[in-house]
């Protein structure tokens, strides 16, 4: 999977733009990774664009929405065509009713479905690093299954799965309830 991203110049341009900001404990997750993997597994010739590019970081010293907006503005200046969505994971626990998240990877554990709870970052040596607290099996098997948090917030999981309707984009995707 990392090779798939490493050979995708568009993905790497996005990764380099975020890395240049030197955000603490950052990664890009969700559809940025999932769509590329599912496109490759499904034989899609043209990439399925994510609805947004989920930039995650963890900075308890500044959990303001203004800081997130400033980061989005910097990214828009670097790559204006990209649909940026920046979220400090140090504040997202409040929205989700969870205990505070200690890191970006810990926040990913609380996402609703397993194939989306995957992220990558570019380390200082220019190597891609993977964050996948629930593993990669479901992602590569085209299976959508609730994480433990998804089971605990099952109505939210069901709404999200219905809204996203991934099987319409990738007919091999199987949703589990």
Model pLDDT for residues 111-149, shown as the tens digit of each residue: 999 999 999 999 999 999 999 999 999 999 999 999 999
Residue 50 has pLDDT above 90, yes or no: no
Other CB atoms within 10 A of residue 3 CB: 8
Beta-sheet strand order (sheet of 53-57): 84-88, 53-57, 27-29, 119-122, 128-131
- Provide the CB-side half-sphere exposure for 66 (13 A, CA): 1
Residue 149 structure tokens = 């948090």
pLDDT value, residue 16:
97
Give percent above pLDDT 70 in the chain.
Answer: 100
Between the two ends of the chain, the Cα-to-Cα distance in Å is: 26
2-175 — its CATH code? Answer: 3.30.460.10
pLDDT value, residue 23:
98
Domain boundaries, the chain: 2-175
pLDDT value, residue 59:
98
Segment 8-28 shows an average pLDDT of: 97
Summary mean pLDDT of the chain:
96
CA 39 to chain centre: 16
Q: Is residue 136 exposed (0-12), middle (13-18) or buried (19+ Cβ within 10 Å)? A: middle
Residue 95 has pLDDT above 90, yes or no: no
pLDDT value, residue 162:
97
Q: Which of 142, 170, 130 is nearest to 48 (CA)?
A: 170
pTM: 0.94
pLDDT digits (tens, 9 = 90+) for 25-47: 999 999 999 999 999 999 999 99
pLDDT value, residue 87:
98
Residue 156 has pLDDT above 90, yes or no: yes
């Amino acid at each position: 999977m990392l090779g798939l991203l490493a050979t995708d110049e568009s993905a790497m341009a996005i990764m380099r733009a975020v890395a240049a900001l030197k955000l603490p404990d950052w990664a890009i997750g969700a559809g940025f990774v999932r769509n590329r993997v599912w496109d490759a597994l499904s034989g899609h010739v043209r990439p399925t664009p994510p609805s947004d590019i989920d930039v995650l970081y963890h900075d308890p010293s500044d959990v303001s929405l203004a800081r997130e907006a400033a980061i989005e503005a910097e990214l828009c200046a670097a790559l204006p065509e990209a649909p940026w969505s920046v979220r400090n994971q140090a504040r997202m626990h409040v929205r989700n009713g969870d205990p505070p998240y200690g890191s970006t990877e810990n926040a990913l554990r609380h996402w609703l479905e397993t194939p989306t709870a995957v992220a990558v970052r570019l380390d200082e040596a220019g190597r891609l690093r993977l964050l996948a607290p629930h593993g990669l099996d479901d992602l590569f098997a085209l299976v959508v299954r609730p994480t433990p948090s998804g089971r605990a917030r099952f109505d939210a999981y069901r709404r999200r799965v219905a809204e996203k309707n991934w099987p319409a984009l990738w007919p091999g995707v199987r949703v589990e309830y």
